[in-house]
Amino acid sequence: MARTADILVVGGGVIGCAIAYELAKAGLAVTLVERGTPGCEASSAGAGMLAPQAESSAPSPRLALGLASKALYADLALELRERTGLDIEYETGGNLHCFLDEGDEAVGRAACAWQREAGLKAELLSRADALGLEPDISAEIRGALFFPEDHWVNNPRLVTALAGAAAQEGVRFVTGEVAAFLRAGDRITGGQVGEDRIRAAVVVLAAGAWSGQLAATAGLRLPVGPVRGQIVCLEGIPRRHRHLLHVGDHYLVPRVNGEILIGASVEWAGFAKQVTAEYVRSALDAAIRLAPALARLPVKATWAGFRPWAPDELPVIGPWPGLEGLVVATGHFRNGILWAPITARLIRELLVDHAPSLDLTPFRPDRFAK
């Protein structure tokens, strides 16, 4: 059977759902194809950090994208609550990077200096001030770098809310797998889903870690593939921790219900969705060294997911040059939750207003073509 839509969004993660919602609000007829439930892959496996400052090492397009997207979250949280009744738990407590040794402290001081120079809020805290913010932290720490404007959300709820709001706006959700793009010369015309052909004026490729495989079905080189992240979830006490915490390569994210998510590994392990003893040990060692009281909490769950990674670790956002009908929104790697609202806005600005508000040159889909 052949069906048609203005827009076919391939992938129902946070990026696909945010784009579908945004385009439907702009009046377009959108079909979204997802083989599982919306957000069932990386979007739910992440920890929900909205931490552009913690995740940047210099002023850069990635930092600009992160700051622009974070600025959209307060309104998005209200809008989603009004439309769906779901609270995405947008938390604004800030982010403490704790120093356990001289090396951590030197890195923290340098980060504080460039961020302040760039006009961002960052503060160096003494041990006593850091313990004043988070009393469970070990007195072993030397101090901390505090980013008061890094935030977080409950990411599984965010995707559920975006999918619900998109459905209310008329987005048609199809459960299935786009096995291949339909291509006619220099035009992508839709996707093959089982026996069905879904034709659309524009196909938006938002298939996360699977995007590279799908692009290849149309003869396109898009080296976006999986980087595994593992998380350990403790059953904690609601509101005991009010900040994101970082220690070394690990972060701790407190959820409103008391859960503490400790993450995350960064592993090139293909699509092997495993939680390893080695990673669980390292996550728990780091967390317990930072906050010894965590040792008594039950381990509630562990999981792994696949971040969509591109070789330069920048997202891939924009139309495919020289090819009609294909727009790409993938490769969000460690920042899919953070970058979702700005990605949706940019795709809407591209397709509806024909004037993206940020320069998309660093994110061009064909930058790996050679």
Q: Which residues bind ligand GLY (CB under 6 A)?
A: 46, 49, 229, 263-264, 307, 334
Torsion of CA 156, 161, 167, 172, to 10 degrees: -20
Nearer to ligand GLY, 150 or 169 (CB): 150
Minimum gap (Å) between residue 292 Cβ and ligand GLY? 24
Minimum gap (Å) between residue 227 Cβ and ligand GLY? 8
Minimum gap (Å) between residue 47 Cβ and ligand GLY? 6
Nearer to ligand GLY, 178 or 283 (CB): 283
Considering only CA atoms, give the Rg of the chain.
21
Minimum gap (Å) between residue 14 Cβ and ligand GLY? 12
Q: How far is residue 250 CA from its own chain's centroid?
A: 17
Nearer to ligand GLY, 183 or 334 (CB): 334
Minimum gap (Å) between residue 3 Cβ and ligand GLY? 35
Nearer to ligand GLY, 33 or 338 (CB): 338
Nearer to ligand GLY, 8 or 231 (CB): 231
Minimum gap (Å) between residue 264 Cβ and ligand GLY? 3
Nearer to ligand GLY, 312 or 349 (CB): 312
Nearer to ligand GLY, 151 or 334 (CB): 334
Minimum gap (Å) between residue 232 Cβ and ligand GLY? 12
CA-nearest of 331, 317, 332 to 365 is 317
CA-nearest of 336, 341, 337 to 314 is 336
